[in-house]
């Protein structure tokens, strides 16, 4: 289903502001805070939303693509390279492959949690997995996907149908929970 780009921008801003406001919340508390945040962001103009998207290349990409709300397979999209401080070699394939690396390498996860410079993935993934079912049903926390090859360098990354622009940890959490597909805002060339 085609959507207006302002919806994608609202989703991005909710996600960004939610990183702080939704942290350490679960169940009803998570949903209540998310509802408040969505209501606040829904009232913002596109100009106000644009001011919250501080990386100019991202804003340009959001403005140039035609946007759709559709289902993505965990086999067709790839995460940021490297996502949240995960080893680069874990982030070169699909979301499924990244999730498998996380699940199959507990010793490396332990090492990163003690010695890693960037621990965002290790610190945030357990909490995201706990609320993955709620995230999966929210249009305002859905991943945002741009055409493959937009942000992920090829090589070393495998060129996928899409690059996750925002929501890599959420998509990994879906894969860890066993979901094969998830809804996303998908940008396509005009």
Annotate 5-65 with DSSP letters as a single string: HHHHHHHHHHHHHHHHHSTT--HHHHHHHHHHHHHHHHTS-HHHHHHH---HHHHHHHHHS
Lookup result for tokens 């508390």: 29
What residues does 3 pair with on adjacent strands?
67
Pairing state of beta strands 181-188 and 144-147? parallel
pTM above threshold 0.75: yes
* Greatest pairwise CA separation for the chain in angstroms: 46
- In this prediction, residue 164 has a pLDDT band, given cuts at 50, 70 and 90, of very high
Taking only the tens place, the pLDDT of each residue in 41-67 is 999 999 999 999 999 999 999 999 999
Question: Which phi-psi region, left, alpha or beta, contains residue 85 (left: φ > 0; alpha: ψ -120 to 50)?
Answer: left
pLDDT of residue 135: 96
Radius of gyration of the chain (CA): 16
Mean pLDDT of 76-92: 96
Taking only the tens place, the pLDDT of each residue in 148-159 is 999 999 999 999
Taking only the tens place, the pLDDT of each residue in 170-183 is 999 999 999 999 99
**Residue 116 reports pLDDT greater than 90:** no
Taking only the tens place, the pLDDT of each residue in 1-48 is 999 999 999 999 999 999 999 999 999 999 999 999 999 999 999 999
pLDDT of residue 6: 98
Q: Residues with Cβ < 8 Å from 126, sequence gap 6 or more?
A: none
Half-sphere exposure in the Cβ direction for 157 (13 Å, CA): 28
Lookup result for tokens 């290790």: 122
Supply the mean pLDDT for the chain: 96
**Residue 190 reports pLDDT greater than 90:** no
* Bond prior to 118 in cis (omega within 30° of 0): no
């Amino acid at each position: 289903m085609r959507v207006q780009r302002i919806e994608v921008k609202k989703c991005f801003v909710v996600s960004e502001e939610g990183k702080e406001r939704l942290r350490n919340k679960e169940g009803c508390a998570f949903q209540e805070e998310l509802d408040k945040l969505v209501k606040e962001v829904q009232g913002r103009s596109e100009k106000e939303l644009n001011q919250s998207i501080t990386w100019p290349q991202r804003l340009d990409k959001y403005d140039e693509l035609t946007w759709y709300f559709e289902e993505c397979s965990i086999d067709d999209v790839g995460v940021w390279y490297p996502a949240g401080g995960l080893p680069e070699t874990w982030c070169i394939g699909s979301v499924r492959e990244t999730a498998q690396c996380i699940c199959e390498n507990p010793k490396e996860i332990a090492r990163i949690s003690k010695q890693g410079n960037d621990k965002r993935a290790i610190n945030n993934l357990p909490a995201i997995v706990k609320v993955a079912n709620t995230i999966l049903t929210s249009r305002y926390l859905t991943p945002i996907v741009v055409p493959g090859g937009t942000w992920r360098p090829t090589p070393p990354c495998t060129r996928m149908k899409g690059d996750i622009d925002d929501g890599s940890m959420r998509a990994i959490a879906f894969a860890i929970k066993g979901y094969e597909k998830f809804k996303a805002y998908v940008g396509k060339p005009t």
